[in-house]
């Protein structure tokens, strides 16, 4: 079943302890941590000490998204800090295979991210080596942006690419996800839904999480029901 992966980018750092407790109590398993260097994207965010402090205090799976260049200079810092999965941008280095290989040899899961303007077919030569593909549904660098509608087409293209190559990485989408577009994303097979300000800036975070989680569960129940009726139909067909 698809999972909500809260992003901490738009969180109030002074309220972080309470936020993480709420996520833990709700049953959140993954956290998405955006690392920005002010070069690859026009913003600065967290460092390895931030990841390390969360690692020491909680049992979340830490999904570290490196929006930095060159990522080679940052890998050891975040591996040592306790990242479980490190995602790097295809656009950030000419040595993407070397970077992905290093992440995996170091014991982390490896993800590949692409920006909204990068063609999906450019993933063809690396997608067999990664555990996760992250499609950015906003231009990276800032939280609270509006969802780019062309993401739906890009998801279809990605699914077709995976099918043609016989691979099945986790599919993650990041940026502008809310109650208005989440169902369509689920229909297109998204596994991990990175949601930031729609949760962290909500007046009632638990209620917002419950609303989004309810959409996912209802969609999953509908899929299982369709599969059941199809199986029964095939049995008596």
For this structure, is 174 an active site residue?
Answer: yes
Known catalytic membership, residue 157: no
- Asked if the bond preceding 182 is cis, omega within 30° of 0, the reply is no
- Report residue 147 CA to chain centroid gap: 14
d(CA 175, CA 173): 7
Q: Are 131 and 110 in contact (CB under 8 A)?
A: yes
Asked whether the beta carbons of 99 and 71 are under 8 A apart, the reply is: yes
Pick the catalytic residue from 12, 15, 25, 34: 34
Bridge partner residues of 92 (DSSP): none
> d(Cα 217, Cα 214) in Å, to the nearest integer?
5
Query: 3-state class of 114 per DSSP?
Result: strand
Name the active-site residue from 129, 157, 174, 213.
174
Strands 132-136 and 3-6, sheet pairing: unpaired
Longest dimension (CA), the chain: 61
DSSP lists the bridge partners of residue 114 as 135
- Show the 3-state SS of 5-63: EEECCCCCHHHHHHHHHHHHHHCCCEEEEEEEECCCCCCECCCHHHHHHHHHHCCCEEE
Catalytic residues: 34, 174
């Amino acid at each position: 079943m698809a999972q909500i992966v809260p992003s901490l980018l738009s969180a109030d750092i002074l309220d972080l302890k309470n936020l993480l407790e709420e996520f833990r109590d709700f049953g959140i398993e993954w956290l998405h941590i955006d690392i920005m260097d002010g070069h690859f994207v026009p913003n600065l965010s967290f460092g390895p000490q931030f990841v390390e402090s969360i690692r020491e205090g909680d049992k979340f799976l830490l999904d570290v998204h490196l929006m930095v260049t060159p990522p080679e200079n940052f890998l050891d810092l975040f591996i040592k800090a306790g990242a479980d999965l490190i995602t790097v941008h295809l656009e950030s280095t000419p040595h993407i295979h070397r970077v992905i290989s290093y992440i995996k040899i170091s014991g982390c899961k490896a993800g590949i991210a692409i920006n909204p303007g990068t063609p999906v077919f450019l993933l063809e030569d690396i997608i067999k080596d990664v555990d996760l593909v992250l499609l950015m549904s906003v231009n990276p660098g800032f939280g609270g942006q509006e969802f780019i509608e062309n993401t739906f087409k890009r998801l279809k293209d990605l699914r077709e690419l995976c099918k043609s190559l016989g691979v099945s990485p986790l599919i993650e989408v990041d940026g502008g996800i809310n109650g208005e577009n989440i169902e369509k994303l689920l229909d297109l097979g998204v596994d991990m839904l990175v949601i930031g300000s729609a949760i962290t800036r909500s007046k009632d975070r638990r209620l917002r999480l419950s609303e989004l989680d309810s959409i996912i569960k209802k969609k999953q129940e509908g899929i299982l029901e369709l599969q059941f009726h199809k199986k029964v139909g095939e049995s008596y067909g």
